[in-house]
Structure 1
Amino acid sequence: MMKIRLLLLPLLPCLLFIGPLRASCPIYLTISLSGKALHDSCLEVNWGPDCAGPPEWIGIYGQDPTISNFQPDLRINGITNRTGKLSTPIKLGKLLFPGGWNRQDSNELPATRYPRGKCLPHYVASYNGTELLTVECLKIQPNWMAQIKDGDQMPLKSLFLPGSHASGAFIASYSKTKSLLVKDYLVAQHFDVWSQLVFGIRYLDFSVGYKYMDSDNDADNFWIANENMFIIPLAGVLRDVRHFVERSGELVILDFSSFPIGFYKHPEIYSSLFHLLRQELGEVAYQRNMTLDQHCANRNFRQLLSLGIHVVLLFPTQELPYPENESGLLCSPWQRFSTSYMNISQTLDYMRLLFSKKPDGPVQDDGWIFTAVKSMEQTLNTHKLQTAKERAAVINPKVNQWLKGPWGMNANVVAMDYFSNTNIVDLAIEVNAHKAFLLATKNKFINLEILR
């Protein structure tokens, strides 16, 4: 008699999950980097990668095309390639967030929870003839971590966290900023930190500079910096983070990655910054148990949220004097990898090395950050000094496309300049849902024995 044992995973959840990921030709919207200001920026249509069958036409709408027979604001015909990005003449315009998610909205009423995102009035749909194939929209994702069903076993190091590089390098008004250097080369994001978090970014990268402001409040001396220049005050950014996590209940990683101006050989300035962080974020930030030597990347994100913890601070504690350097408020920096001085071919090879997670590779079982950026110096090799937007327009779509393959499953933090010309937030949500499902079903199988 022969005995055959079959281990079967629950089939229905597998099919439900795989279905949307295997759409024959996914279509989505991003924001072009060609506009001088955000409201002047145009919508981009993206399809792929590797569409099995491109649609006959794509329509752009200002309303949901599934609820009525609207005519498109723009119709795009003749798509033949399997992967592509096309800028449209439709401008983004002024953005207002629904459901109480604007910064200035009152805190008296709770903001609407959108665990599956909320569409803004910009839709894209694909068709074969009159047959509707897919519909997507430009959306905010203020509560996406609530979507990770069965994520109870997932530590921070296992999450795919969408991030922004030089997160505070933003100016509200280009018209009031006279410096072309700031406008074209130092600004690195379309959105301020509040809006980045509302769109779904969960990792923020801060470079901090110290500028003495002759003020009674020492907090006024700390500024967001980029490329060794001051951009905006830090204190307001920290308050935005605190207000967002209080309103959303989400978890955010803050990485104080560099201190390019005013900190060198001044431990007392590091100490003042620590006290500012404790003052602004201490009530919502993770406090390590020093006796257990807890590694922050190993902590389960749902457990942190259940304890009322919504911020994790990464900080080089060795720069702090005693006793601040032993504070449980600060976590040691995670491993960092950057493409700053690489061309596209070198970036691909570098990602292959990192995201394969080979036993002898640089990425192992710990928290790690992949920063997909191109530096100003690197562009000089092409004999043309590219603006920050031009650099991001080259590298972002490539990295975004490569992460949609198996590499995305090994991602932890991925940070970009001008993340808004990718769909990295949606990609991270899909990957995290997949990871959580695999963890939840790891030990849940049906054991069938067939006797022959």
Structure 2
Amino acid sequence: MFLCCLVFFCCNLPLLIYACPIYLTISLDGKTLQDANLEVNWGPECHEHPEWIGIFSEDPTTSYVQPEARITDIRNSSGKVVSDVKIGKLRFPRGWNINDVNVVPIEYPKGKCLSYYVASFNGSELLTVECLKIQPNWMSKLEHIAQMPLKDLFIPGTHASAAYVTNLTKTKSVLVKDYVIAQRMDVWSQLVFGVRYLDLSIGFDRVANTYDTSNTDNFFIVNENKFVQPLRGVLREVKHFVKVSHEIVILDFSSFPIGFYKHPERHSSLWHLLHEEFGDIVYIRNTSTNVEVKQCYELTIDEIKKNNKYIIILYPVQELPYPESESKILCPNWKRFSTAFMNTSEALDYMRLLFSKKNSSPVQNEGWVFEAVRSMEQSLNNDKLETAKERATVLNPKVTSWLKGPWSLTANVVALDYFGNTNLIDVSIYANMHKAFNMANKNFINFEIVST
């Protein structure tokens, strides 16, 4: 049994190379998510090329169906092709749709395929099969990771997580469509797919609700200095998800670009909103002088969930007045690193520095967030103001490809814009499986057997 596990984790990469791994992502073309096309990806290091790859609406291993699209002439060791197959309306299994009521969702320890499959063939010989899948329970079900501190996990996340519009077709502003929106899926769908870290920038709108004396409904999600949507609805999506999934979610209140400067009382009002929405499910830090106080990134999943808690809130506590500044429901922000103002080669060099964790690296034994994003200002260096989608189309696949090597084993939080055009969730799950295996067998001694 141990030998099988050892072969899986130590030899998984070579096996995948010879099998030519394939997977599906969602392209960033089309005006809306429903209009987007499926992308077929293969590699890296795909040396034994299949003759053709097909996209199917059913599992080709269990039913005979004709492909909805065929891709041939596969020559490069890695590649991506945008198919003619549109994603359409995403339909999750019962219980995993945000409006499902009085339905206990089924747990999916290994994920659940949606009706989008990709398979590779030599002639009629089936080689490999993958699917576009949700991973609503991955963190709770991966063996051994519950005993690992958060800083040692690869946690998939999104940048500007709530910068989306539910009905983009009704949005008339080109600025909002092209530069403010950073995600196609709402927060609920991101979490169902497997995202476990949410990056939130908050603004205070003085005219949003002048009759609300508590000011708790004046808080809005902000991106690119524009109000996007009310914060409270986003918080309730998170609360609903963790209560049905029992997964850990990290909320990082990373910036406050509008309405907070020289207004500490607004931070206090926001604290009251967070306490109101998450009071029964947010982790409460133990600050007793009788025990060794752990940083939040040192906590394990088991420790967090011990008293049915599921939310970790990262917040710049120094912005809060006393006594909220000493609140036990808030954790100090983790270190943050971003490629926002870098070109592709600079981003690669920066990742090499960060993920090496050498003495020269600013990342050591702590919690940290890597944001693989590119700013509007950086796109101007290319003599063209690229949209958020265009920037993500270029950067996301490169970053996730670089993370498929040894860097995945040193990653902590990785946050992307438009995460759906990558397989970030699977990359993080495989990395955490490897990390957990190493942790569970760290005391294993390899005795060499010598024949006499």
Per the normalisation by structure 1, the TM-score is: 0.95
Alignment partner, residue 186 of structure 1: 180
Q: Partner amino acid for 2:283?
A: Y
Aligned to 1:15: 7
Identify which of 215, 225, 228 aligns with 2:225.
228
Aligned to 2:260: 263
SS of the equivalent of 1:428 reads helix
1:1-400 pair list within 5 angstroms = 10-18=2-10, 20-21=12-13, 22-23=15-16, 24=18, 25-106=20-101, 108-212=102-206, 213=208, 214-216=210-212, 218-291=215-288, 292-400=292-400
SS in 2 for 1:175: helix
- How far apart are the structure 2 equivalents of 1:142 and 1:74? 28
- Once the two structures are TM-superposed, the CA of residue 439 in structure 1 deviates from its matched residue by 0.5
- Following superposition, the deviation at residue 146 of structure 1 comes to 2.6
Q: Which amino acid aligns with 1:319?
A: E
Conserved 8 A contact 1:223-1:233: yes
The question of whether the paired residues in 2 share the 8 Å contact of 1:253 and 1:312 is answered with yes
State the distance in 2 between where 1:146 and 1:290 align.
26
What is the distance in 2 between the residues matched to 1:403 and 1:240?
29
CA distance in structure 1 between the aligned counterparts of 2:57 and 2:414, rounded to whole angstroms:
31
Q: 1:289 to 1:223 in 2, by over 3 A?
A: same
1: CA distance between counterparts of 2:253 and 2:293? Answer: 21
Question: 1:112, 1:306 → 2: CA distance?
Answer: 22
The residue identity in structure 1 corresponding to 2:269 is S
Tell me how far apart the structure 2 counterparts of residues 450 and 104 of structure 1 sit (CA, whole Å).
Answer: 63
8 A contact 2:55–2:68 mirrored in 1: yes
How many angstroms apart in 2 are the aligned matches of 1:311 and 1:52?
43
Which one is further off, 209-218 or 429-438?
209-218
Q: Does 1:414 align with 2:411?
A: no
Aligned-partner SS, 2:200: strand
How far apart, in 2, do the equivalents of 1:343 and 1:16 lie?
36
2-side partners of 1:390 and 1:200: how far apart?
A: 24
2:106 is matched by which residue type in structure 1? T
Do the aligned residues in 2 keep the contact of 1:297 with 1:367 (CA within 8 Å)?
yes
> What code does the residue aligned with 1:13 have?
C
Q: How many residues get paired? A: 443
Matches of 1:329 and 1:427, distance apart in 2: 31
Offset, 1:157: 0.1
Q: What secondary structure, in the 3-state scheme, does the structure 2 residue paired with 1:353 have?
A: helix
What code does the residue aligned with 2:422 have? T
In the alignment, is the contact (CA less than 8 A) between 1:32 and 1:43 conserved in 2? yes
Asked if the contact 1:10/1:445 (under 8 Å) is kept, the reply is: no
What's the offset of the Cα at 1:15?
1.7
CA distance in 1, matches of 2:85, 2:165: 23
Q: Which moved more, 1:428-437 or 1:124-133?
A: 124-133
Structure 1 distance, partners of 2:99, 2:366, is 38
Q: Is the contact between residue 312 and residue 331 of structure 1 (CA under 8 Å) also seen in structure 2?
A: yes
Amino acid of the residue matched to residue 27 of structure 1? I
Query: Would the alpha carbon gap of residues 47 and 271 (structure 1) be closer, same or farther in structure 2, given more than 3 Å must change?
Result: same
* Conserved? CA contact 2:140–2:146, under 8 Å: no
Cα 1:184–1:16 change in 2 (3 A) is: same
Q: Which amino acid aligns with 2:244?
A: R
Q: Is the 8 A contact 1:189 1:418 kept in 2?
A: yes
CA distance in 1, matches of 2:143, 2:320: 39
1:303-352 deviation per Cα after TM superposition (whole angstroms, max 9, x unaligned) = 32233121100000000000000011100110000000000000000000
Q: Which residue of 2 aligns with 1:5?
A: none
Cα-to-partner distance string for 1:21-53 (whole Å, 9 max, x where unaligned): 431211000000011101000000000111131
- Which amino acid letter does the alignment assign opposite residue 98 of structure 1? P
Q: Report the Cα offset of residue 99 of structure 1.
A: 2.9
CA RMSD of aligned residues (A): 1.5
What is the rounded CA distance, in whole Å, between the counterparts of 2:449 and 2:163 in structure 1?
61
Conserved? CA contact 1:153–1:439, under 8 Å: no
Highest RCO, 1 vs 2 (Cα 8 Å, sep ≥ 6): 1
Distance 2:302 2:426 in 1: 20
1:128 deviates by 1.3
Matches of 2:156 and 2:169, distance apart in 1: 30
Distance in 1, Cα, partners of 2:305 & 2:129: 33
What is the rounded CA distance, in whole Å, between the counterparts of 1:403 and 1:142 in structure 2? 22
CA displacement at 1:261 relative to structure 2: 0.1
Change (3 A) 1:387 1:451: closer
| Closer, same or farther: CA 110–20 of 1 in aligned 2, 3 Å | farther
Q: Tell whether the 8 Å contact from 1:151 to 1:302 is kept in structure 2 after alignment.
A: no
Secondary structure, in 3 states, of the residue corresponding to 1:312?
Answer: strand
In 1: Cα distance, 2:216 partner to 2:111 partner:
35
How far apart are residue 13 of structure 1 and its match? 1.1
User: Helix, strand or coil for the counterpart of 1:244?
Assistant: helix
> Residues 10 and 446 of structure 1 are in contact (CA less than 8 Å); yes or no, is this contact kept in structure 2?
no
